[in-house]
Each structure stands twice: as structure tokens, then as C-alpha cells.
Amino acid sequence: MIEEVDIVFNYGGNWVISPKLGYNIKFQHTWYYNTCLVCYDDLCEAFTSKFGFKEVQQLLVTGPSGTYYVIEDNDGIKTLQYLFSKDFKVINFYAVDAHELRVFATNIIYHTESYSVDVEVATDCDYSDVEDDTLYEMGNNCEIVEYNVEVLQRYEHEKERVVCDGLEKFKELEMGMTFKTIQEARQVVSFYAMANKKKLKTKKSDTKRIRYECYDGCPFTLLISKDGKSATFKVKTLMPKHTCGDSFVNPLATYHTLAVYFKDEVQNNPKYPIKDMRGILEKKFKLNVSRSKLKRAKTMALDKLEGSFKDDYNRLEAYGQELRQSNPGSDVVINISKDALEQGIRRFLRMYICFKALKDGWKSLRPIIGLDGTFLKGKCKGQLLVAVGQDSMNHFYPIAWAVVEKENTGTWTWFIQLLRISLELKNGEIVTFMSDMQKGLLDAVANVVPEAHHRFCVRHIESNWCKKWRSGEEKKLMWWCAWSTYEEEFKDTLKVLGNVDEDSASDLLHFPVIKWCRAYFDTQCKNLMVDNNFTESFNSWILEARQKPIIKMLEEIRVKVMNMLVKNEKMGRKWQNDISPTAMKLYNDYRLMATNCIVEFNGDYGYEVKDGDTDTHTVNLELKKCTCRLWDLGGIPCHHTIKALLHKKTEPLEEVHYWYRKEAYLLTYKHKLQPVRGSQFWKIDPAQAMEPPKMVKLVGRPKMKRNRKTDEASLRKGAWKQSRKGTIMRCNKCGDFNHNAKGCYKDHEDGESSHERNKKASSQKSRSRAGKNSTVEYETEASPQQFQTQRLTAYGPEIGNEEDPTLRPMVISETETRMEKRSRIFEGIGSRKIVFKGDARGILTPSDLPYSPKKTTWKGKKAVRTDQL
């Protein structure tokens, strides 16, 4: 709520009752008020003492939509104060004098408006890139399309018959039971037959009556017909007694009935298996239903979900108000389409959510934010933009998310502007962003937070770079380039890559080095991440929610985040020491590497640490810096620093940054999301109804998962496993190619492998079966020497005799590869002394790189190849 408002006193005019309530203004007087000091008695006194009223008979105010409301006491003023916002800070008051007729208007207590959510009008994004989307404030003079009030009010007033799992409420029928329609009556009788496991048949059915009897001469009889006194249908004849037994076949269990029964399960989980549906019907009702009928029922339930998609947008502003009311201080912003509003239609465009608890929790995290966009999978298409942080356990921490029409410069600018306000980022000098180089995102970050450092995900750089350079050794060297923490190390690794292929090194430098190499990163966020996997993990975490209607999707995300905060806090309290387990694992790796370091002390705060036979690094314990930059970048003492601290007889764990401490972790998860009430408590106003975005039905089955790269790991039997496509099979026993240890021919004295023996035995059996009646012609088996000379084609271009070219999995173990790299001493490195470089934020500008990106031109102008996009 804002702190100050402008109070406008309207007087001297007259009231107009027809065609709708209004006031012809003659004079106006504006006072500047503190919102906390607005009082009912003071307002009435102002009308009588300042503006000539004899007595205030009624005090009225116009709400944000221009509707007149009556205020009778200070309770009404408190309700009005709740509506104060940046879009509603000019408040118009009116009064009815003693000699005037009273006007009819709703008391503001009983009909408040849900405009506490910031609703703005924004320019629509067409199918081309929109570079300058502008936000406009919504005026009160826009024509709003008429909506069916009865349809909107059903969310608040209508109570339906609840379909529970066991249909307990449908086991009995009574004389005089009434139903709204004949269709509802049929539905209830169908559930009655299922719940009691009875086989009923329809004797007569039309638009006015329906009669049921039981099979096998059972006396059960039921007649439902239209009531003459009302428009409802009533049970008029009922013989409830059954003499028949349970039936395993039920003609009334049609796919329409089953669609209603499984509606919630299917709509909450569109992948709900047919097998589970059959199991439930068999277990609870002893029903044997065909798969085809259940498929039709599931299809019908999903088709009804389309109506739920549309209805959710009518309640969206009420939902946003409930979020703001239940979680004070949260940011909820809704944009409606400017183009549609000009045609008199309120059409949804965008929605942004950032909870107060997540804003407070982010203050205890390392200041790095991953940005990403992901597609919605439901009927109403769009994209979900997310901002995700990372805690000291390297778990993702959701900060804010937004539903937008598409991903471009305009939507990203809008999202980052709101994120900057929510997190108080100012110009971005305190934060580092990590992204996948999405379309429009780069310009948005540069324009909204120009001082922020922006990292690029190396995984996405690799996917583009590897379209041409697919060798396993080249990929490994590319990742070593990204992991290089100081410039000399990066240049050395780049030279090794250039020795394999100079063009591959030049193409790699096409991507700005300061965006993806650690040697040029800022050191203020204390995060070594070079990929955006923690943001991708969040998108995968909410995959099922992205298939649902907008409110159900946002609610599922909110509940998952709420449970995650509780779960992670409990996990943090179980830590064995004051440092996070993830940081301790990395520290132990560094401590192991420190055993090979040699230290020299200068008698003050400086140490020279020789890392094996390679480089000599300088450690300054006073400035807490090392020339290898690992300590500066990650906040955890590197192996050089650990060696220096041990020489000084100081515990290295004391130098681990505060962000990895248990206190900081618990402060992050101390703030909780507050519960949100159900939709029956929301204040739904017909004036807030809006239409959904235009639905686009695509051809074919919707794709739920992205296509994985050829060399990318896939999930097999619950574990991530690397593809072996393109690799060369080598025997662990003899070292030869084209066979494994199980089929090694050197196992046998005659030189035959087990595979060859089995193949010959199988061939002999087939010849013996052919036997007397047929003649089998066959070719001679290939000799072991022929097998030995065969080779599989390596994946990617030829690069000579590369050593063990294993393909990269989704996430490479940096520690293992760093240990492997230390075992390889690159030629020409020698013993160098590394000096401190970089500005106050640790950022270094590349200089004197051994290679440079190739300049591609097209018709004399700068261009890029398609594989570099």
C-alpha cells in the first residue's frame, strides 16, 4: 500500500440516477493526505465546514473502475485503504446532502474491487521481434465487453455434487430427490449403479422422464420425471430393494460417466495411465472396462479441460489479489492486451509473480541469477520466463516467474524491469546473470541493468560450436578452456586446442570470451558456474505443471516452492558442521591437490606457491586473493591458499566465504510462503473478466520433451547414461579394436573368440535341422584376422591418434577432469610466475590471445554462419 494519496472533494453538482448512477461535477477541491490519517468523520466534517453541506446523509467514493460505493463508517475507510495502489492514488469523494434524495449504491465492505493487483495495458507482440514494447496505464474510459454475470458468479455461489473416489454419496436414492436437468439425473443413476455394483437397464427415456429397472427379475424400479411445479426433475417412483447379486458388467458405465469420474485425476495429470484407470475400476467397483472405452473417457476429460483453461482467466485478477493479500509485500502484475482493449475486449497478455519470502531469501544467496524461458504445454500457448538463484548446496532457488505471450526483447525487458524493482538491483552492479543467449535477452539485460555482469551457458555454446567440431578430444579441451581460472591457463589450453585444429579454436573465440571463461569472470558473486543447468533443472521440475490451466499451473508451482523451502530448511539443520556439504566436498578436493604444492613465505602476508612443475602462484592472505583466481571466484580456498594457510598454521576452513555457512543457508530458507485460500474465498468481480490468449491448435501430438543431441546423455532405467554412438569398441584384455573382453579371441588356444564359437555352433544346428530334405548353402566365416582389421568410423572429423575420445555427458565432473589435466603437463609452460590481474570486481579484458575469430562477410558486410547462431 502506498503512503500518500490525493483526496478530491466533488461538490456543487447534482446526482443522476438514469441510465446509471452518476454525478455532474461542478466544483472540485484536492487535499494531500497520508493514507493512515484518512478518517470517516474528518471527511464528513470537510464537506460540512468547507463546502457548504448542511449534513452528510451519505458519503460515496468511486473505485478503481469508476463504480460508486457507499462508505458508512471507518470500516469502509479501512476497506478503501486496502485498494490504494500506485494506479489508484487519486480518490474521488462525493456526499449526499440532507435535503437530497438518498442514492442506491453498494456498501464498499460487501463488494470490494480486486484492483490491488497492478493491472496494466501493454502492446501485443506480433510474430516478428518487438524491440520497443511500451507499457500504458489503463484509463477508466475504455469500453469493456459485456460478460455473462451468471457464469462468472457460479465460482462463488454454485455447489455441485462432489464425485468422491468410492462414490459413497451415490449409494442410496430417495423419494423426492431433485435434479436440475435430466442429464444430471442420468449421471447420478449411473454412479448409483457403479457404487452398488448393480446392472441396471433403461426401460424408457426421453426429455421429460426416464425409467430404470434391474436385470434378472429384480424388483428394483426407478422413475424420474419432470416436476410440474418447477423446472427440476424429481424421483417419483422408487422400489429400492435388490434381490440380484453383484455384477461385473455395467451398461450405465459409459465413457461419459467415466470421464466425469476421472475428470480431476486426468486434468491434474494428463499423462494419467489407462492401466491405472482400469485398476481403480476393478478394485473399487469390480468393473471390467475395455481400454478403448477408457481412452474415449480420457479424451473427453481432456477436452473439457479447454473450458477450464478459458475460465481460469476470468478469475485471474481475483487470484492475484488473493496472493497479495495472503503474502503481503509480494509483487503481482498483470498486463492486458492494448490491441484487444481498443476493440472493447480485455484479453490477457502477461503476468508476473515474485513472493515477498523469495525476495527476502535471495538476500542471503550468492548474487547470481539464472534466466531462462520455457514453453507452456497446455491449450493456451505462451512461455514461462523464470529467474532462479542458487544456494550453497548448488540447489536452484526460484525467485520470480512470469507468463508471457512469447520470448523476445519486449517481454524480457518487461520481466527484467520488474525483477530489478523486486530485488532492488538498481543498475545491476551487485548481480551477475547467467543465460542461454536467448533471443532478445542480451539486449534486455544490457538496457535494464547495464552494470550487471552477464555469463553465457557453456553447454549451449558447445551445442552450437559442436555442429562443426564434434571430436571428443576437442570437446574436452573446449570445456577446459571454460574452466581455466587465469589467463595464462586459458591461453595454454587454447593453444592445445589449436594444435588439434586451428579453425576450431578460432570458431570458439567467436563467442565473447569474457562471457564464458572463468579467467575473465567477475569475482563478487563467488560462483564458479559456467552453465545454466540449475535453471534448466527448475524448468524440468515444473514440467507437469506447464500442461495445466494458468491458475492450476501457478498454484502447483507455488505449492512446490512452498514445500521445497520447508524441505531444504530441514536438510540444512542436519548439517554435521558449519560448512555446506557441497562446499566441503570441493574443499576436500582442493586439500588433496595441495599435497603436491611447494610454498615459500615472504614474512608478511605473501606466499609463493609452486603448483608441481607448472606455474608459480602468489597468495595474499590479507587481500584474500590468489593469482589462480579459484579462491576469488568461488569463495572457497584453493589448493595454493590451503598450502599457504597450513604453513601459517591457520585452519583453512575459517576462510570459506560466509555464503557457504550454515547460518546463511538457514537465513535463506527462514522465510516461508504463506498459505493461500481456496477459490471460494476469492472476490470475483465481473468487471475483471478477461479472455485468454488466442488458442493455437497444432497438428499432431504435442511434444513434451526436447530432442536431445546425439552425444547427450539420456535417462535409462532411472540413471543418466552417455550415448556410445560414434565411439570405437576396444578390448580390455588384448587392446585390439572391434570386440570386447567377453568376445576376445585370445581366450582360446585356437584363436577363436567365444562369440565365434557360439556363432559356429548355431550355424551347425541350423544345418542339422535342415538335414535330409534340404541343402543349405553358406559362405565361409570371416577369419579372426579379418575381424581384427575392421574398424568403426570415428564420430566427427579425423584428428589423428587422439587419446580415449570419450563423448561428453550432460554434466562433466570438473574435479575428475581437472585431476586428469594436472596429470598432463603441456609442453612450453615451464615455471612461470603468475601475477594479479583484473579490476576491483575481478573482471579482466582478454589480450594477446593466440587465435582470433574469423571474420565472415556477406556482400561486404559483417555476417555469421548458421552454425554460429
Q: Give me the residues paired with residue 332 across strands.
A: 353
Alpha carbon distance 537, 39 (integer Å): 51
Instruction: Tell me the CATH number at 435.
Output: 3.30.420.10
Could you tell me which residues are beta bridge partners of residue 225?
Answer: 209, 234
CA distances from 147 to 338, 481, 515, 860 (A): 19, 60, 51, 58
The C-alpha angle 16, 22, 24, rounded to 5 degrees, equals: 75
Within a domain: residue 601? yes
Does residue 251 share a domain with residue 181? yes
Residue 118 inside a domain? The answer is no
Same domain, 546 and 499: no
Region for 533 from its dihedrals, namely left if φ exceeds 0, alpha if ψ lies in -120 to 50, beta otherwise: alpha
Tell me, what's the pLDDT at 42? 87
CA dist list (Å): 380 to 74, 213, 375, 383: 44, 45, 11, 10
Q: Per the domain annotation, does 750 fall within a domain?
A: no
**All cell numbers assigned to 136:** 500504458
Secondary structure of 493-555 in HEC code, one letter for each residue = HHHHHHHHCHHHHHHHCCCCHHHHCHHHCCCCCCCCCCCCHHHHHHHHHCCCHHHCCHHHHHH
Rounded CA-CA distance 328/676 in Å is: 12
CA distance 22 to 609: 83
Residue 512 placed within a domain: yes
Q: How far is it, in rounded angstroms, from Cα 524 to Cα 635?
A: 9
- Does 566 share its domain with 592? no
For 227, other C-beta atoms within 10 Å of its C-beta total 14
The amino acid present at 498, given as its one-letter code, is G
Cα–Cα separations (whole angstroms), residue 696 to 288, 381, 561, 566, 699: 37, 7, 30, 39, 10
Does a structural domain hold residue 812? Answer: no
Residues 237 and 99 in one domain: no
Tell which residue, 589, 585, 591, 587, has the closest CA to residue 646: 591
Residue 408's identity, in one-letter code, is N
Domain assignment present for 126? no
- Residue 235's closest CA among 212, 201, 256? 212
568 and 431 in a single domain? The answer is yes
Phi, psi of 22 (to 5 degrees): -160, 170
Q: Evaluate whether residue 674 is within a structural domain.
A: no
Rounded CA separation 123/297 (Å)? 41
Q: Find the domain containing 650 and state its range.
A: 579-660
- Integer angstrom CA distances of residue 811 from 163, 459, 533, 573: 46, 9, 9, 28
Are 521 and 544 in a shared domain?
A: no
Q: CB atoms < 10 A from the CB of 804, how many?
A: 11
Q: Cβ(611)–Cβ(617) under 8 Å? A: yes
Give the length of the chain.
Answer: 869
CB 564 within 8 A of CB 542: no
Three-state secondary-structure class, residue 213: strand
* Residue 149 Cα to chain centre, angstroms: 34
Count of domains observed in the chain = 5
Strands of the 4-11 sheet, one edge to the other: 27-34, 4-11, 90-96, 58-62, 68-71, 106-107
**pLDDT (0 to 100) of residue 755:** 53
- Give the orientation angle of helix 316-326 with respect to helix 550-573, to 10 degrees: 20
How far apart (Å, rounded) are the C-alpha atoms in residues 388 and 569?
A: 18
User: Are 198 and 93 within one domain?
Assistant: no
- Residue 453 and residue 515 in one domain: no
| Pairing status of strand 331-337 against strand 383-390 | unpaired
Same domain, 87 and 214: no
Looking at residue 750, its pLDDT comes to 54
Q: Is 807 helix (H, G, I), strand (E, B) or coil?
A: coil
Instruction: Give the contacts of 461 (CB within 8 A, at least 6 positions apart).
Output: 437, 511, 516
Q: Are residues 545 and 431 in the same domain?
A: yes
- Domain stop point among 98, 113, 128: 113
Q: What's the CA gap between 681 and 667, in Å, rounded?
A: 32
Are 315 and 298 a contacting pair, CB within 8 Å?
A: no
3-state SS assignment for residue 338: helix
Q: From the centroid of its chain, how far is CA 373?
A: 8
Is 756 among the domain residues? Answer: no
Same domain, 541 and 645: no
Distance in angstroms (rounded) separating the CA atoms of residues 745 and 739:
9
Dihedral in degrees, nearest 10, Cα atoms 193, 194, 200, 201: 110
Looking at the DSSP bridge assignments, the partners of residue 88 are 85
Q: 536 and 516 in one domain? A: no
State the CATH number of the domain containing residue 19.
Answer: 3.10.20.90
Domain boundary among 642, 660, 678: 660
- Please answer whether residues 105 and 70 qualify as being in contact, where contact means their C-beta atoms are separated by less than 8 angstroms: yes
The series of mean pLDDT values per 10 residues for the chain, 869 residues long, is: 80 81 85 79 88 89 83 81 73 89 80 53 55 34 37 38 63 85 88 88 88 86 86 87 85 88 80 87 87 89 71 89 91 90 87 95 94 84 92 94 92 94 91 87 92 91 82 84 90 90 88 91 91 90 86 93 95 93 92 88 84 81 90 92 92 94 95 91 82 66 59 56 65 79 66 56 53 40 36 33 36 58 47 74 76 69 60
Q: State residue 729's pLDDT score.
A: 76
Asked, as a colleague might, if the bond just before 19 is cis with ω within 30 of 0, I would say: yes
List, in sequence order, every beta strand (DSSP E) within 217-354.
221-226, 233-239, 331-337, 348-354
Domain-terminating residue out of 97, 113, 129: 113
Grid cell 560450436 is found at: 465
Report in angstroms the alpha-carbon separations of 733 from 304, 736, 740, 754, 771: 62, 8, 8, 14, 39
